[in-house]
């Protein structure tokens, strides 16, 4: 072919053609690499059929990479999504084993961390509830235990709560993991997830 009429490619797909994926498989290509492969310059006097075919291939690859991302973005989680009033009380117990005292809640303003109420997170303000991760800012309020837990002075510190890993539990969509962060007192930090043993379920 006369070189005058031959398109000049800054990047070609020839290298990728020599490494063909197995039939039915999807070869993963980064966005930057795809842009390099699809970047071409050609002689303005002609546009060959080869150039058109390669541009079509590049367009198809770009669309193939974008579709899974778009599909994932459109997936909606089942609603509503619950959490529980307390992280220390049993989430569920076998039938007849005792009273079910922990209740499901939506956007709780207060979460108990000790069963006797001597430590809780209150004044919670939520963002992202109903999504895969919900965040809240609040106040950690804990008794100093002097002279006892009920009468002790309350020590209050700013705290953050993160709920994650939504999933189905006993017919309801719930956040199954809880994370507490107290920046001024890291010893109070907690990371708990729903777990069960012989019919008893707790956040552990």
Q: How far apart are CA 154 and CA 140, in angstroms?
A: 9
* 94 and 193 fall within a common domain: yes
* 156 and 194 fall within a common domain: yes
Give phi and psi for 36, each to the nearest 5.
-65, -40
Predicted local distance difference test score (pLDDT) of residue 50: 64
The partner residues of 52 in beta bridges, in order of sequence, read none
Residues 6+ apart with CB under 8 A from 77: 130, 131, 132, 166, 173
The last residue of a domain, from among 32, 58, 74: 74
Asked, for residue 154, whether it belongs to a domain, the answer is yes
Supply the Cα-derived Rg of the chain in whole angstroms. Answer: 29
Asked, for residue 112, whether it belongs to a domain, the answer is yes
Domain that holds residue 19: 14-74
Q: Do the Cβ atoms of 140 and 46 come closer than 8 Å? A: no
Asked, for residue 1, whether it belongs to a domain, the answer is no
* 104 and 194 fall within a common domain: yes
* 144 and 50 fall within a common domain: no
Mean pLDDT by 10 residues, the chain (204 residues): 43 40 45 51 49 59 53 72 97 86 95 96 98 98 96 97 97 98 98 96 97
* 39 and 105 fall within a common domain: no
* 66 and 129 fall within a common domain: no
What is the number of domains present in the chain? 2
Predicted local distance difference test score (pLDDT) of residue 61: 56
* 57 and 103 fall within a common domain: no
The last residue of a domain, from among 74, 94, 117: 74
Predicted local distance difference test score (pLDDT) of residue 97: 84
* 184 and 157 fall within a common domain: yes
């Amino acid at each position: 072919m006369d070189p005058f009429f031959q398109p000049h490619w800054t990047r070609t797909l020839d290298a990728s053609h020599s490494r063909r994926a197995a039939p039915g498989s999807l070869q993963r290509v980064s966005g930057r690499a795809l842009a390099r492969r699809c970047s071409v310059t050609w002689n303005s006097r002609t546009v060959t059929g080869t150039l058109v075919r390669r541009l079509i291939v590049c367009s198809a690859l770009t669309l193939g990479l974008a579709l899974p991302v778009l599909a994932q973005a459109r997936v909606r989680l089942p609603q509503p999504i619950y959490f529980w009033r307390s992280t220390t009380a049993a989430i569920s117990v076998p039938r007849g084993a005792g009273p079910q005292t922990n209740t499901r809640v939506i956007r709780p303003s207060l979460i108990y961390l000790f069963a006797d109420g001597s430590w809780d997170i209150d004044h919670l303000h939520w963002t992202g509830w109903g999504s895969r991760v919900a965040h809240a800012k609040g106040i950690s309020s804990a008794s100093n235990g002097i002279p006892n837990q009920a009468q002790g002075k309350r020590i209050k510190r700013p705290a953050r709560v993160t709920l994650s890993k939504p999933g189905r539990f006993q017919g309801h969509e719930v956040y199954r993991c809880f994370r507490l962060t107290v920046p001024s007192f890291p010893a109070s930090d907690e990371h708990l997830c729903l777990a069960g043993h012989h019919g008893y379920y707790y956040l552990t």
